[in-house]
Chain A
Amino acid sequence: MTSFEFTGRHRMTLLIGVVIGVLCMAGTWFFADDAIHSRFWSNFLHNSVFFTGIAVMAGFFLCASITAWAGWYVTFKRIWESFSLFMGIGFILMLILALGTYFGWHHLYHWTDPALLDVNDELYDPIIAGKSGFLNKSWYLFGTIFSVGIWFFIMTRIRALSIKEDEGNDEDFSSHRWMRWWAAAYLPLAGFLSAAMIWQWVMSVDSHWYSTMFAWYSGASWFVSMLALTILVLMILKMKGYFASTSNEHIHDLGKLLFAFSIFWTYLWFSQYMLIWYANVGEETIYFKERIDNYPVLFYGNLLINFVLPFFVLMRNDTKRKWGSLGFIAVMVLFGHWIDYFLMIKPGVLHTAHEVAAHASGHHGDHGHGAHEAIGGFAMPGFLELGTGIGFLCLFLYFVFSSLTKAKLEPTHDPYLEESLHHHV
Protein backbone atom coordinates (compact mmCIF):
# COMPACT_ATOMS: atom_id res chain seq x y z
CA MET A 1 0.00 0.00 0.00
CA THR A 2 1.63 3.20 -1.15
CA SER A 3 -0.61 5.69 0.56
CA PHE A 4 -2.07 5.77 4.00
CA GLU A 5 -5.81 5.87 4.46
CA PHE A 6 -6.93 7.52 7.67
CA THR A 7 -10.30 5.87 8.00
CA GLY A 8 -13.32 7.47 9.60
CA ARG A 9 -13.31 4.91 12.39
CA HIS A 10 -9.75 5.72 13.36
CA ARG A 11 -10.40 9.44 13.12
CA MET A 12 -13.40 8.98 15.38
CA THR A 13 -11.43 6.93 17.92
CA LEU A 14 -8.70 9.53 18.15
CA LEU A 15 -11.18 12.42 18.25
CA ILE A 16 -12.95 10.74 21.16
CA GLY A 17 -9.57 10.64 22.89
CA VAL A 18 -9.12 14.36 22.21
CA VAL A 19 -12.60 15.06 23.56
CA ILE A 20 -11.75 13.08 26.71
CA GLY A 21 -8.69 15.27 27.07
CA VAL A 22 -10.68 18.47 26.62
CA LEU A 23 -13.31 17.27 29.10
CA CYS A 24 -10.60 16.42 31.62
CA MET A 25 -9.03 19.84 31.19
CA ALA A 26 -12.38 21.54 31.58
CA GLY A 27 -13.13 19.36 34.60
CA THR A 28 -9.79 20.35 36.10
CA TRP A 29 -10.46 24.01 35.52
CA PHE A 30 -13.99 24.11 36.91
CA PHE A 31 -14.14 21.43 39.59
CA ALA A 32 -10.73 20.41 40.86
CA ASP A 33 -8.52 23.43 40.89
CA ASP A 34 -7.30 26.18 43.16
CA ALA A 35 -8.04 29.86 42.68
CA ILE A 36 -5.14 30.42 40.29
CA HIS A 37 -5.74 27.21 38.30
CA SER A 38 -2.31 25.73 39.05
CA ARG A 39 -3.46 22.24 38.26
CA PHE A 40 -4.92 23.11 34.88
CA TRP A 41 -1.94 25.17 33.77
CA SER A 42 0.67 22.73 35.03
CA ASN A 43 -1.08 19.88 33.18
CA PHE A 44 -1.20 22.05 30.09
CA LEU A 45 2.51 22.87 30.39
CA HIS A 46 3.42 19.26 31.13
CA ASN A 47 1.72 17.81 28.06
CA SER A 48 2.48 20.67 25.67
CA VAL A 49 6.18 20.53 26.46
CA PHE A 50 6.24 16.75 26.33
CA PHE A 51 4.64 16.36 22.91
CA THR A 52 6.26 19.42 21.35
CA GLY A 53 9.57 17.97 22.52
CA ILE A 54 8.82 14.65 20.84
CA ALA A 55 8.23 16.57 17.61
CA VAL A 56 11.49 18.50 18.03
CA MET A 57 13.44 15.30 18.63
CA ALA A 58 11.86 13.50 15.66
CA GLY A 59 13.06 16.38 13.49
CA PHE A 60 16.43 16.26 15.20
CA PHE A 61 16.95 12.57 14.53
CA LEU A 62 15.74 12.91 10.94
CA CYS A 63 18.16 15.79 10.34
CA ALA A 64 21.01 13.97 12.08
CA SER A 65 20.38 10.97 9.82
CA ILE A 66 20.29 13.12 6.68
CA THR A 67 23.48 14.90 7.69
CA ALA A 68 25.23 11.63 8.53
CA TRP A 69 24.29 10.15 5.12
CA ALA A 70 22.41 7.39 6.88
CA GLY A 71 20.11 5.26 4.80
CA TRP A 72 18.52 2.62 6.96
CA TYR A 73 15.56 4.73 8.14
CA VAL A 74 14.34 5.86 4.71
CA THR A 75 11.39 3.48 4.29
CA PHE A 76 9.68 4.87 7.36
CA LYS A 77 11.03 8.43 7.33
CA ARG A 78 7.51 9.80 6.72
CA ILE A 79 6.73 8.92 10.33
CA TRP A 80 9.46 11.20 11.61
CA GLU A 81 8.48 13.88 9.13
CA SER A 82 4.90 13.72 10.39
CA PHE A 83 6.04 13.71 14.02
CA SER A 84 8.14 16.80 13.43
CA LEU A 85 5.28 18.63 11.73
CA PHE A 86 3.35 18.42 14.98
CA MET A 87 5.50 21.41 15.93
CA GLY A 88 2.89 23.46 14.09
CA ILE A 89 0.40 22.52 16.82
CA GLY A 90 3.16 22.68 19.41
CA PHE A 91 3.79 26.27 18.35
CA ILE A 92 0.19 27.18 19.16
CA LEU A 93 0.28 25.31 22.48
CA MET A 94 3.53 26.89 23.58
CA LEU A 95 2.36 30.29 22.34
CA ILE A 96 -0.68 30.04 24.62
CA LEU A 97 1.66 29.34 27.53
CA ALA A 98 4.04 32.12 26.55
CA LEU A 99 1.21 34.64 26.18
CA GLY A 100 -0.09 33.39 29.52
CA THR A 101 3.30 34.12 31.04
CA TYR A 102 3.48 37.51 29.36
CA PHE A 103 0.01 38.66 30.37
CA GLY A 104 -0.11 36.88 33.71
CA TRP A 105 -2.88 34.39 32.97
CA HIS A 106 -1.15 31.78 35.10
CA HIS A 107 1.29 31.55 38.00
CA LEU A 108 3.47 28.67 36.86
CA TYR A 109 6.65 30.65 37.20
CA HIS A 110 7.65 32.32 40.43
CA TRP A 111 10.03 34.67 38.57
CA THR A 112 7.15 36.43 36.80
CA ASP A 113 6.36 38.35 39.98
CA PRO A 114 7.72 41.91 39.39
CA ALA A 115 8.03 42.56 43.14
CA LEU A 116 10.97 40.13 43.28
CA LEU A 117 13.06 42.45 41.12
CA ASP A 118 12.31 45.66 43.03
CA VAL A 119 15.13 46.44 45.47
CA ASN A 120 12.79 48.52 47.59
CA ASP A 121 10.16 45.83 47.87
CA GLU A 122 10.27 43.56 50.92
CA LEU A 123 9.93 40.61 48.54
CA TYR A 124 13.11 41.57 46.67
CA ASP A 125 14.95 38.40 45.74
CA PRO A 126 18.58 38.89 44.68
CA ILE A 127 18.81 35.40 43.14
CA ILE A 128 15.81 35.89 40.87
CA ALA A 129 16.87 39.47 40.14
CA GLY A 130 20.26 38.16 39.06
CA LYS A 131 18.61 35.81 36.59
CA SER A 132 16.18 38.39 35.24
CA GLY A 133 18.32 39.06 32.17
CA PHE A 134 17.26 35.65 30.90
CA LEU A 135 14.23 34.79 33.00
CA ASN A 136 11.87 37.53 31.95
CA LYS A 137 8.54 37.59 30.19
CA SER A 138 9.81 39.15 26.98
CA TRP A 139 12.53 36.55 26.51
CA TYR A 140 10.09 33.78 27.27
CA LEU A 141 7.65 35.02 24.65
CA PHE A 142 10.29 35.84 22.06
CA GLY A 143 12.27 32.65 22.65
CA THR A 144 9.19 30.47 22.31
CA ILE A 145 8.02 32.13 19.11
CA PHE A 146 11.49 32.25 17.58
CA SER A 147 12.62 28.73 18.52
CA VAL A 148 9.52 26.72 17.77
CA GLY A 149 8.87 28.92 14.75
CA ILE A 150 12.26 28.34 13.18
CA TRP A 151 12.25 24.61 13.96
CA PHE A 152 8.83 24.25 12.40
CA PHE A 153 9.82 26.33 9.39
CA ILE A 154 12.90 24.21 8.67
CA MET A 155 10.96 20.97 9.05
CA THR A 156 8.30 22.20 6.59
CA ARG A 157 11.13 22.91 4.11
CA ILE A 158 12.55 19.42 4.54
CA ARG A 159 9.11 17.91 4.22
CA ALA A 160 8.44 19.84 1.00
CA LEU A 161 11.77 18.74 -0.49
CA SER A 162 11.11 15.17 0.57
CA ILE A 163 7.76 15.19 -1.24
CA LYS A 164 9.31 16.89 -4.25
CA GLU A 165 11.84 14.07 -4.46
CA ASP A 166 8.99 11.61 -4.96
CA GLU A 167 8.27 13.11 -8.38
CA GLY A 168 11.39 11.31 -9.54
CA ASN A 169 12.92 14.08 -11.66
CA ASP A 170 15.68 14.81 -9.18
CA GLU A 171 18.45 13.48 -11.43
CA ASP A 172 21.18 15.72 -10.01
CA PHE A 173 20.00 15.22 -6.41
CA SER A 174 19.45 18.96 -6.02
CA SER A 175 16.46 18.36 -3.72
CA HIS A 176 18.53 16.12 -1.54
CA ARG A 177 21.38 18.60 -1.48
CA TRP A 178 19.00 21.31 -0.30
CA MET A 179 17.56 18.95 2.26
CA ARG A 180 21.07 18.40 3.57
CA TRP A 181 21.55 22.17 3.94
CA TRP A 182 18.34 22.56 5.90
CA ALA A 183 19.14 19.51 8.03
CA ALA A 184 22.59 20.88 8.86
CA ALA A 185 21.01 24.19 9.85
CA TYR A 186 18.40 22.48 12.02
CA LEU A 187 20.89 20.53 14.13
CA PRO A 188 22.62 23.42 15.97
CA LEU A 189 19.37 25.41 16.11
CA ALA A 190 17.53 22.50 17.70
CA GLY A 191 20.45 21.62 19.96
CA PHE A 192 21.14 25.04 21.43
CA LEU A 193 17.65 26.54 21.32
CA SER A 194 16.02 23.45 22.82
CA ALA A 195 18.41 23.73 25.77
CA ALA A 196 17.55 27.39 26.22
CA MET A 197 13.82 26.71 25.91
CA ILE A 198 13.96 23.79 28.35
CA TRP A 199 15.50 26.17 30.88
CA GLN A 200 12.68 28.61 30.35
CA TRP A 201 9.76 26.22 29.93
CA VAL A 202 10.62 23.56 32.51
CA MET A 203 13.64 24.31 34.67
CA SER A 204 12.52 27.82 35.63
CA VAL A 205 9.47 26.27 37.33
CA ASP A 206 11.92 25.86 40.20
CA SER A 207 13.01 29.45 39.90
CA HIS A 208 15.89 29.46 42.36
CA TRP A 209 17.32 26.16 41.28
CA TYR A 210 19.40 25.43 38.25
CA SER A 211 21.41 22.54 36.89
CA THR A 212 23.75 22.50 33.92
CA MET A 213 22.77 18.88 33.23
CA PHE A 214 19.08 19.68 33.03
CA ALA A 215 18.72 20.44 29.32
CA TRP A 216 20.59 17.28 28.37
CA TYR A 217 18.60 15.19 30.77
CA SER A 218 15.16 16.37 29.74
CA GLY A 219 16.21 16.41 26.07
CA ALA A 220 17.17 12.74 26.43
CA SER A 221 13.77 12.15 27.98
CA TRP A 222 12.12 13.63 24.88
CA PHE A 223 14.35 11.56 22.65
CA VAL A 224 13.52 8.25 24.32
CA SER A 225 9.80 9.09 24.23
CA MET A 226 10.11 9.88 20.53
CA LEU A 227 11.75 6.49 19.85
CA ALA A 228 9.11 4.65 21.89
CA LEU A 229 6.30 6.41 20.05
CA THR A 230 7.97 5.73 16.68
CA ILE A 231 8.13 2.02 17.49
CA LEU A 232 4.49 1.95 18.57
CA VAL A 233 3.22 3.87 15.53
CA LEU A 234 5.25 1.64 13.20
CA MET A 235 3.88 -1.48 14.84
CA ILE A 236 0.29 -0.25 14.63
CA LEU A 237 0.66 0.67 10.96
CA LYS A 238 2.42 -2.60 10.13
CA MET A 239 -0.41 -4.51 11.78
CA LYS A 240 -2.78 -2.63 9.50
CA GLY A 241 -0.73 -3.84 6.53
CA TYR A 242 1.22 -0.68 5.80
CA PHE A 243 5.01 -0.32 5.68
CA ALA A 244 5.54 -3.79 4.19
CA SER A 245 9.13 -2.91 3.28
CA THR A 246 9.93 -1.83 6.81
CA SER A 247 11.13 -5.14 8.15
CA ASN A 248 11.91 -6.55 11.54
CA GLU A 249 15.49 -5.42 10.90
CA HIS A 250 14.37 -1.80 11.14
CA ILE A 251 12.32 -2.54 14.24
CA HIS A 252 15.35 -4.26 15.73
CA ASP A 253 17.48 -1.16 15.15
CA LEU A 254 14.84 1.08 16.69
CA GLY A 255 14.82 -1.30 19.66
CA LYS A 256 18.59 -0.92 19.97
CA LEU A 257 18.21 2.85 19.91
CA LEU A 258 15.50 2.65 22.58
CA PHE A 259 17.79 0.50 24.71
CA ALA A 260 20.82 2.72 24.16
CA PHE A 261 19.05 6.02 24.77
CA SER A 262 17.32 4.68 27.87
CA ILE A 263 20.80 4.11 29.24
CA PHE A 264 21.89 7.53 27.99
CA TRP A 265 18.96 9.09 29.84
CA THR A 266 19.92 7.19 33.00
CA TYR A 267 23.50 8.35 32.65
CA LEU A 268 22.37 11.98 32.53
CA TRP A 269 19.80 11.53 35.29
CA PHE A 270 22.41 9.98 37.53
CA SER A 271 25.12 12.51 36.64
CA GLN A 272 22.81 15.31 37.67
CA TYR A 273 21.81 13.51 40.85
CA MET A 274 25.32 12.49 41.87
CA LEU A 275 26.89 15.93 41.35
CA ILE A 276 24.22 17.56 43.46
CA TRP A 277 24.37 14.81 46.09
CA TYR A 278 28.15 15.09 46.29
CA ALA A 279 28.40 18.85 46.48
CA ASN A 280 25.45 19.00 48.87
CA VAL A 281 24.83 22.71 48.37
CA GLY A 282 21.54 23.48 50.04
CA GLU A 283 20.00 25.49 47.25
CA GLU A 284 20.71 22.64 44.80
CA THR A 285 19.91 19.70 47.06
CA ILE A 286 16.44 21.07 47.83
CA TYR A 287 15.34 19.93 44.35
CA PHE A 288 16.00 16.27 45.15
CA LYS A 289 15.05 16.48 48.81
CA GLU A 290 11.62 17.76 47.79
CA ARG A 291 11.16 14.89 45.37
CA ILE A 292 12.57 12.07 47.50
CA ASP A 293 10.62 13.15 50.60
CA ASN A 294 7.30 13.95 48.98
CA TYR A 295 7.28 11.90 45.77
CA PRO A 296 9.18 8.70 46.70
CA VAL A 297 7.04 6.38 44.58
CA LEU A 298 7.42 8.49 41.44
CA PHE A 299 11.05 9.27 42.15
CA TYR A 300 12.20 5.65 42.41
CA GLY A 301 9.52 4.39 40.03
CA ASN A 302 10.93 6.75 37.42
CA LEU A 303 14.28 4.95 37.56
CA LEU A 304 12.63 1.56 37.68
CA ILE A 305 10.47 2.12 34.59
CA ASN A 306 12.94 4.11 32.55
CA PHE A 307 16.15 2.29 33.36
CA VAL A 308 15.83 -1.09 35.06
CA LEU A 309 12.96 -2.31 32.90
CA PRO A 310 14.32 -1.45 29.42
CA PHE A 311 17.85 -2.35 30.47
CA PHE A 312 17.10 -5.90 31.50
CA VAL A 313 14.30 -6.63 29.04
CA LEU A 314 15.90 -5.17 25.92
CA MET A 315 19.38 -6.48 26.67
CA ARG A 316 18.80 -9.70 24.76
CA ASN A 317 18.88 -9.86 21.00
CA ASP A 318 15.50 -11.49 20.52
CA THR A 319 13.48 -9.23 22.83
CA LYS A 320 14.23 -6.33 20.47
CA ARG A 321 12.80 -8.33 17.57
CA LYS A 322 9.70 -9.70 19.28
CA TRP A 323 6.85 -7.24 19.09
CA GLY A 324 5.39 -8.28 22.41
CA SER A 325 8.43 -7.45 24.50
CA LEU A 326 9.52 -4.41 22.47
CA GLY A 327 5.97 -3.00 22.33
CA PHE A 328 5.51 -3.52 26.05
CA ILE A 329 8.75 -1.69 26.84
CA ALA A 330 7.88 1.11 24.39
CA VAL A 331 4.53 1.67 26.15
CA MET A 332 6.14 1.57 29.60
CA VAL A 333 8.96 3.91 28.66
CA LEU A 334 6.65 6.40 26.96
CA PHE A 335 4.54 6.47 30.11
CA GLY A 336 7.68 6.57 32.25
CA HIS A 337 9.04 9.67 30.57
CA TRP A 338 5.66 11.34 30.78
CA ILE A 339 5.94 10.68 34.53
CA ASP A 340 9.48 12.04 34.40
CA TYR A 341 8.16 15.36 33.09
CA PHE A 342 5.41 15.29 35.69
CA LEU A 343 8.11 15.03 38.33
CA MET A 344 10.09 17.89 36.79
CA ILE A 345 7.16 20.29 36.71
CA LYS A 346 4.63 19.58 39.44
CA PRO A 347 6.62 20.09 42.68
CA GLY A 348 7.86 23.51 41.57
CA VAL A 349 4.42 24.64 40.44
CA LEU A 350 2.89 23.50 43.74
CA HIS A 351 5.53 25.43 45.64
CA THR A 352 4.80 28.58 43.64
CA ALA A 353 1.06 28.10 44.13
CA HIS A 354 1.59 27.90 47.88
CA GLU A 355 3.61 31.08 47.81
CA VAL A 356 0.96 32.88 45.81
CA ALA A 357 -1.69 31.67 48.24
CA ALA A 358 0.44 32.72 51.21
CA HIS A 359 0.85 36.09 49.60
CA ALA A 360 -2.82 36.56 49.11
CA SER A 361 -3.49 35.77 52.77
CA GLY A 362 -0.79 38.15 53.92
CA HIS A 363 1.87 35.69 55.12
CA HIS A 364 4.72 37.27 53.24
CA GLY A 365 7.81 35.19 52.72
CA ASP A 366 6.26 32.19 54.37
CA HIS A 367 7.56 29.70 51.83
CA GLY A 368 5.05 27.02 51.20
CA HIS A 369 3.45 26.98 54.61
CA GLY A 370 0.79 29.60 54.20
CA ALA A 371 -2.79 29.11 53.32
CA HIS A 372 -3.02 25.62 51.88
CA GLU A 373 -5.69 24.76 49.49
CA ALA A 374 -6.32 21.10 48.96
CA ILE A 375 -5.64 20.50 45.30
CA GLY A 376 -5.16 17.06 43.85
CA GLY A 377 -3.06 16.00 40.92
CA PHE A 378 0.23 17.09 42.38
CA ALA A 379 1.44 14.18 44.48
CA MET A 380 0.42 11.62 41.86
CA PRO A 381 -1.05 11.86 38.38
CA GLY A 382 -4.79 11.54 38.98
CA PHE A 383 -7.48 10.59 36.50
CA LEU A 384 -7.67 14.15 35.25
CA GLU A 385 -3.91 14.16 34.55
CA LEU A 386 -4.09 10.81 32.77
CA GLY A 387 -7.12 11.95 30.78
CA THR A 388 -5.36 15.14 29.76
CA GLY A 389 -2.33 13.10 28.74
CA ILE A 390 -4.49 10.77 26.66
CA GLY A 391 -6.11 13.78 25.02
CA PHE A 392 -2.75 15.22 24.01
CA LEU A 393 -1.52 11.82 22.81
CA CYS A 394 -4.61 11.42 20.64
CA LEU A 395 -4.20 14.96 19.30
CA PHE A 396 -0.60 14.13 18.45
CA LEU A 397 -1.53 10.87 16.73
CA TYR A 398 -4.46 12.45 14.91
CA PHE A 399 -2.16 15.07 13.51
CA VAL A 400 0.56 12.55 12.64
CA PHE A 401 -1.87 10.26 10.84
CA SER A 402 -3.39 13.09 8.85
CA SER A 403 0.11 14.25 7.87
CA LEU A 404 0.85 10.70 6.73
CA THR A 405 -2.07 10.81 4.28
CA LYS A 406 -0.66 13.89 2.57
CA ALA A 407 2.31 12.12 0.97
CA LYS A 408 3.23 8.68 -0.27
CA LEU A 409 3.68 6.50 2.78
CA GLU A 410 7.05 5.26 1.59
CA PRO A 411 9.31 7.57 -0.38
CA THR A 412 9.94 6.41 -3.93
CA HIS A 413 13.01 8.36 -5.03
CA ASP A 414 15.08 9.00 -1.95
CA PRO A 415 18.73 8.37 -2.95
CA TYR A 416 19.14 6.06 0.04
CA LEU A 417 15.95 4.08 -0.54
CA GLU A 418 17.69 0.96 -1.85
CA GLU A 419 19.98 0.83 1.16
CA SER A 420 16.99 0.98 3.44
CA LEU A 421 15.10 -1.74 1.56
CA HIS A 422 18.05 -4.11 1.99
CA HIS A 423 18.74 -3.14 5.57
CA HIS A 424 20.14 -6.06 7.51
CA VAL A 425 21.55 -6.09 11.02
Chain B
Amino acid sequence: MANHKDIIYGLYNDEEDLLKAVEVARDQHLDIMDVYTPFPVHGLDPLLGLSESRLHIGAFIYGAIGTLTAFLGMTWIFTKDWPIVYGGKPYWAVPSFIPITFELTVLFASIGMVVTFYVICGLGPGVVNPTIDTRITDDKFCIAFEKGANESGAAESFLSSTGASEIHSKTI
Protein backbone atom coordinates (compact mmCIF):
# COMPACT_ATOMS: atom_id res chain seq x y z
CA MET B 1 0.00 0.00 0.00
CA ALA B 2 1.25 3.34 -0.97
CA ASN B 3 -0.27 5.61 1.63
CA HIS B 4 0.45 4.40 5.09
CA LYS B 5 -1.45 6.03 7.88
CA ASP B 6 -0.54 6.26 11.51
CA ILE B 7 -3.69 5.84 13.49
CA ILE B 8 -4.77 5.66 17.07
CA TYR B 9 -7.94 3.78 17.89
CA GLY B 10 -10.03 2.73 20.85
CA LEU B 11 -12.25 -0.30 21.20
CA TYR B 12 -15.58 -0.15 22.98
CA ASN B 13 -17.56 -3.09 24.26
CA ASP B 14 -21.04 -1.72 23.72
CA GLU B 15 -22.85 0.24 21.03
CA GLU B 16 -24.38 2.57 23.61
CA ASP B 17 -20.90 3.54 24.86
CA LEU B 18 -19.86 4.10 21.28
CA LEU B 19 -22.81 6.38 20.53
CA LYS B 20 -22.17 8.44 23.67
CA ALA B 21 -18.46 8.68 22.82
CA VAL B 22 -19.17 9.84 19.27
CA GLU B 23 -21.46 12.48 20.70
CA VAL B 24 -18.69 13.69 23.02
CA ALA B 25 -16.22 13.71 20.13
CA ARG B 26 -18.61 15.84 18.12
CA ASP B 27 -18.98 18.30 20.98
CA GLN B 28 -15.17 18.51 21.37
CA HIS B 29 -14.80 19.02 17.59
CA LEU B 30 -12.43 16.06 17.30
CA ASP B 31 -11.67 14.91 13.79
CA ILE B 32 -12.67 11.23 13.65
CA MET B 33 -11.13 9.22 10.83
CA ASP B 34 -13.77 6.51 10.89
CA VAL B 35 -15.95 4.36 13.10
CA TYR B 36 -16.10 0.60 12.69
CA THR B 37 -18.91 -1.58 14.01
CA PRO B 38 -19.79 -5.24 13.57
CA PHE B 39 -23.37 -4.36 12.63
CA PRO B 40 -25.24 -1.21 11.57
CA VAL B 41 -25.75 0.98 14.64
CA HIS B 42 -28.94 3.04 14.53
CA GLY B 43 -28.39 6.74 14.92
CA LEU B 44 -24.66 6.63 14.17
CA ASP B 45 -24.82 8.18 10.71
CA PRO B 46 -26.43 11.47 11.71
CA LEU B 47 -24.05 11.77 14.69
CA LEU B 48 -21.07 11.43 12.38
CA GLY B 49 -22.64 13.92 9.99
CA LEU B 50 -22.63 11.43 7.13
CA SER B 51 -24.85 12.38 4.24
CA GLU B 52 -27.36 9.91 2.87
CA SER B 53 -25.96 7.36 0.46
CA ARG B 54 -26.45 8.21 -3.20
CA LEU B 55 -26.27 4.58 -4.23
CA HIS B 56 -30.05 4.46 -4.80
CA ILE B 57 -29.84 7.25 -7.38
CA GLY B 58 -27.40 5.05 -9.25
CA ALA B 59 -29.79 2.13 -8.82
CA PHE B 60 -32.62 4.11 -10.41
CA ILE B 61 -30.45 5.07 -13.39
CA TYR B 62 -29.20 1.50 -13.91
CA GLY B 63 -32.78 0.22 -13.56
CA ALA B 64 -34.04 2.72 -16.13
CA ILE B 65 -31.25 1.66 -18.51
CA GLY B 66 -32.34 -1.95 -17.99
CA THR B 67 -35.97 -1.07 -18.72
CA LEU B 68 -35.05 0.71 -21.94
CA THR B 69 -32.59 -1.99 -23.03
CA ALA B 70 -35.14 -4.74 -22.62
CA PHE B 71 -38.14 -2.92 -24.03
CA LEU B 72 -36.47 -1.19 -26.96
CA GLY B 73 -34.37 -4.29 -27.65
CA MET B 74 -37.39 -6.54 -27.91
CA THR B 75 -39.26 -3.92 -29.88
CA TRP B 76 -36.47 -3.74 -32.44
CA ILE B 77 -36.00 -7.53 -32.61
CA PHE B 78 -39.66 -8.40 -32.97
CA THR B 79 -40.74 -5.59 -35.29
CA LYS B 80 -37.66 -4.84 -37.44
CA ASP B 81 -34.95 -7.44 -37.12
CA TRP B 82 -36.80 -10.74 -37.06
CA PRO B 83 -40.59 -10.36 -36.95
CA ILE B 84 -42.37 -13.59 -36.06
CA VAL B 85 -46.06 -14.20 -35.57
CA TYR B 86 -46.54 -16.42 -32.57
CA GLY B 87 -49.81 -17.32 -30.91
CA GLY B 88 -51.66 -15.05 -33.32
CA LYS B 89 -50.28 -12.01 -31.52
CA PRO B 90 -49.15 -8.79 -33.20
CA TYR B 91 -45.42 -8.26 -33.77
CA TRP B 92 -45.32 -5.58 -31.14
CA ALA B 93 -46.90 -7.68 -28.38
CA VAL B 94 -46.36 -5.41 -25.40
CA PRO B 95 -47.84 -7.57 -22.58
CA SER B 96 -45.43 -10.38 -23.40
CA PHE B 97 -42.50 -7.95 -23.15
CA ILE B 98 -43.33 -6.87 -19.62
CA PRO B 99 -41.88 -9.82 -17.65
CA ILE B 100 -38.51 -9.59 -19.43
CA THR B 101 -38.52 -5.82 -19.08
CA PHE B 102 -39.10 -6.24 -15.36
CA GLU B 103 -36.34 -8.84 -15.05
CA LEU B 104 -33.72 -6.82 -16.90
CA THR B 105 -34.63 -3.77 -14.81
CA VAL B 106 -33.92 -5.70 -11.63
CA LEU B 107 -30.79 -7.29 -13.09
CA PHE B 108 -29.28 -4.03 -14.29
CA ALA B 109 -30.12 -2.23 -11.05
CA SER B 110 -28.68 -4.94 -8.82
CA ILE B 111 -25.51 -5.61 -10.79
CA GLY B 112 -24.97 -1.89 -11.31
CA MET B 113 -25.29 -1.26 -7.57
CA VAL B 114 -22.86 -4.06 -6.68
CA VAL B 115 -20.25 -2.84 -9.17
CA THR B 116 -20.65 0.78 -8.06
CA PHE B 117 -20.37 -0.19 -4.43
CA TYR B 118 -17.21 -2.22 -5.05
CA VAL B 119 -15.58 0.54 -7.07
CA ILE B 120 -16.37 3.25 -4.54
CA CYS B 121 -15.20 1.16 -1.58
CA GLY B 122 -12.06 0.06 -3.39
CA LEU B 123 -12.99 -3.58 -3.14
CA GLY B 124 -12.28 -6.22 -5.71
CA PRO B 125 -10.19 -9.27 -6.50
CA GLY B 126 -6.56 -8.95 -5.44
CA VAL B 127 -7.11 -5.87 -3.30
CA VAL B 128 -5.64 -6.05 0.18
CA ASN B 129 -7.46 -3.88 2.63
CA PRO B 130 -5.91 -2.88 5.91
CA THR B 131 -7.63 -4.35 8.93
CA ILE B 132 -7.51 -2.32 12.10
CA ASP B 133 -8.55 -5.12 14.39
CA THR B 134 -10.23 -8.39 13.49
CA ARG B 135 -12.56 -8.12 16.49
CA ILE B 136 -14.42 -5.19 14.94
CA THR B 137 -16.18 -7.76 12.76
CA ASP B 138 -17.21 -9.65 15.87
CA ASP B 139 -17.95 -7.86 19.13
CA LYS B 140 -15.91 -4.64 19.33
CA PHE B 141 -16.86 -1.12 18.35
CA CYS B 142 -13.98 1.04 17.19
CA ILE B 143 -13.34 4.77 16.87
CA ALA B 144 -10.17 5.55 14.91
CA PHE B 145 -8.26 8.83 14.68
CA GLU B 146 -5.50 9.74 12.33
CA LYS B 147 -2.37 10.84 14.19
CA GLY B 148 -1.83 14.55 13.75
CA ALA B 149 -5.45 15.28 12.81
CA ASN B 150 -6.13 16.50 16.32
CA GLU B 151 -4.06 18.22 19.01
CA SER B 152 -1.47 15.86 20.43
CA GLY B 153 -2.87 13.79 23.25
CA ALA B 154 -6.48 14.86 22.59
CA ALA B 155 -7.48 11.56 21.00
CA GLU B 156 -5.89 9.46 23.76
CA SER B 157 -7.50 11.40 26.57
CA PHE B 158 -10.84 11.35 24.76
CA LEU B 159 -10.71 7.56 24.32
CA SER B 160 -9.76 6.87 27.90
CA SER B 161 -12.31 9.30 29.31
CA THR B 162 -15.22 7.87 27.29
CA GLY B 163 -14.73 4.30 28.45
CA ALA B 164 -12.79 2.61 25.67
CA SER B 165 -11.70 -0.79 26.92
CA GLU B 166 -8.50 -0.79 24.86
CA ILE B 167 -6.45 1.94 23.17
CA HIS B 168 -3.86 1.09 20.52
CA SER B 169 -1.68 2.76 17.91
CA LYS B 170 -1.04 1.23 14.56
CA THR B 171 0.29 1.94 11.10
CA ILE B 172 -1.96 0.73 8.34
Q: Which residues of A contact B (CB under 8 A)?
A: 270, 273-274, 277-278, 280, 315, 317, 424
Contact = CB atoms under 8 A, between A and B. Distances in A.
B95 A424 contact: no
The 6 A-B pairs with the shortest beta carbon distances in the complex, nearest first, are A424-B42, A274-B95, A277-B95, A270-B98, A278-B87, A273-B95
B153 interface: no
Interface string B79-122: 00000000110000001101100000000000000000000000
B67 to A, nearest CB: 12
Nearest to A270: B98
A317 B52 contact: yes
A317 B56 CA distance: 10
Contacts of B42: 424
A280 B88 contact: yes
A165 to B, nearest CB: 27
B126 interface: no
B43 interface: yes
A56 B98 CA distance: 32
Binding site secondary structure of chain B: helix
Contact of B98 (A274, A315, A317): A274
Given A270-B98, A274-B98, A424 B87 contact: no
Interface residues on B, range: 10 to 19
Given A274-B96, A280-B87, A280-B88, 12 more contacts: A270-B95, A270-B98, A273-B95, A274-B95, A274-B98, A277-B95, A278-B87, A278-B95, A278-B96, A317-B52, A317-B56, A424-B43
Contacts of A277: 95
Interface in B52-66: 52, 56, 60
A424 B88 CA distance: 53
Nearest to A315: B60
Contacts of B43: 424
A37 B43 CA distance: 60
Contacts of B56: 317
Contacts of A315: 60
A370 B99 CA distance: 42
Contacts of A280: 87-88
Nearest to A422: B42
Contacts of A278: 87, 95-96
A424 B15 CA distance: 15
Contacts of B52: 317
A97 to B, nearest CB: 35
Contacts of B96: 274, 278
Contacts of A270: 95, 98
A189 B52 CA distance: 43
B71 to A, nearest CB: 15
A280 B95 CA distance: 13
A211 to B, nearest CB: 15
B77 to A, nearest CB: 19
17 contacts: A270-B98, A273-B95, A274-B95, A274-B96, A274-B98, A274-B99, A277-B95, A278-B87, A278-B95, A278-B96, A280-B87, A280-B88, A315-B60, A317-B52, A317-B56, A424-B42, A424-B43
B32 to A, nearest CB: 22
Nearest to A318: B52
B91 to A, nearest CB: 15
A280 B43 CA distance: 54
A325 B95 CA distance: 30
Nearest to B42: A424
A285 to B, nearest CB: 12
B13 to A, nearest CB: 21
